[in-house]
Amino acid sequence: MKIMITGGAGFIGSALIRYIMNNRPEVEVVNVDKLTYAGDLSSIPYESESRYAFEKVDICDFDKLRSVFEKHEPDYVMHLAAESHVDRSIDGPLVFLETNIIGTYNMLQASREYLNKSNKDNFKFLHISTDEVYGDLEGTDDYFREDTPYAPSSPYSASKASSDHLVRAWGRTFNLPILITNCSNNYGPYQNPEKLIPVTILNCINNKPIPVYGDGKQIRDWLFVDDHVKGLLKVLEEGQVGNTYNIGGDNEVKNIDVVGEICSILDEVSPRQNESKYSDLITFVKDRPGHDVRYAIDFSKINKELGWKPEETFKTGMRKTVLWYLENQAWWKQKVSK
């Protein structure tokens, strides 16, 4: 089995590749990545292994994509390549439209062309998306389900919603065998230092203020990245073509409580020299424009149909994450120095 993974040098993509390389010896991986600021090959130590290949390619370059398909002849595509930071999408939306919409269009067209030429019987195109396409659950006790109407709030989530619609359209119109997953907020080792959890950990380590948007009461469902990648492989191999599967962590936590948990763990394992609490570093800042208040995922479909559920609780996953950042300072120091 050979899987082409776009965005494989990113946070989720690299976790997926590490899991496959460490646990699935029968699988070959083709990593297609542009290597933007968020891409990092140091998190994928498989250069010398015969069943791993890397192609530095921008998914907005259709001709190069076509060449990658022709060269490697993948059985499956797992499309993770995307611009994914909400704040960056507010400051500069265009690159999000280019990568997330046009790039996805290119991937669909290249896959369709390749499938028509190769006639691979079991080819599948799995598009990895986000729960942010569904919008905001403020004021309700409801959950995002696979049939929840889309109502994106940010340029990022609007671009991902657009890509989801393209994937469904190519499945219906051109009979491309597609699958879609929408996941909740991922966290874990190797996450780019711009995200909430690594920002909090690193600011604690460096005794810097910890920025918290608004009142910090925004609620997110947190999914440990290794649980996510196991769910993705379940969907790829066992999911029903044409279907969408929501992948959630069953961990609804307020942002301020996420920060508080990190501070508590660090108080225990790496106390501040002045004996004050890390929570003293919390600084409330002006809220993000259009900030959604609550996300929550109902993952009962993937649980009932494919037998997947998250293994990590919020507390166990967060402890693993904090300890990883403490033990791998060389990795994140080279990221923050760029």
- The per-residue pLDDT for range 110-125, each reduced to its tens digit, is 999 999 999 888 999 9
Summarised one tens digit per residue, pLDDT across range 262-308 is 999 999 999 998 889 999 999 999 988 888 899 999 999 999 999 99
The model's pTM: 0.95
Taking only the tens place, the pLDDT of each residue in 117-170 is 998 889 999 999 999 999 999 888 899 999 999 999 999 999 999 999 999 999
Adjacent-strand bridge partners of 253: 220
Mean pLDDT of the chain: 95
Write down all domains in the chain, each with its CATH number in brackets.
2-188+222-250+293-313 (3.40.50.720)
User: What pairs with residue 213 in β-bridges?
Assistant: 285
pLDDT confidence of 337, banded at 50, 70, 90? low
d(CA 105, CA 110): 9
> Distance between CA atoms of 83 and 43, rounded to whole angstroms?
19
Q: What does the pLDDT look like over 51-99, one tens digit per residue?
A: 999 999 999 999 999 999 999 999 999 999 999 878 889 999 999 999 9
Question: Rounded CA gap, 249 and 225, in Å?
Answer: 10
Give catalytic residue positions: 131-132, 156
Q: Residue 325 above 80 pLDDT?
A: yes
> Nearest to residue 198, comparing CAs of 40, 31, 21?
40
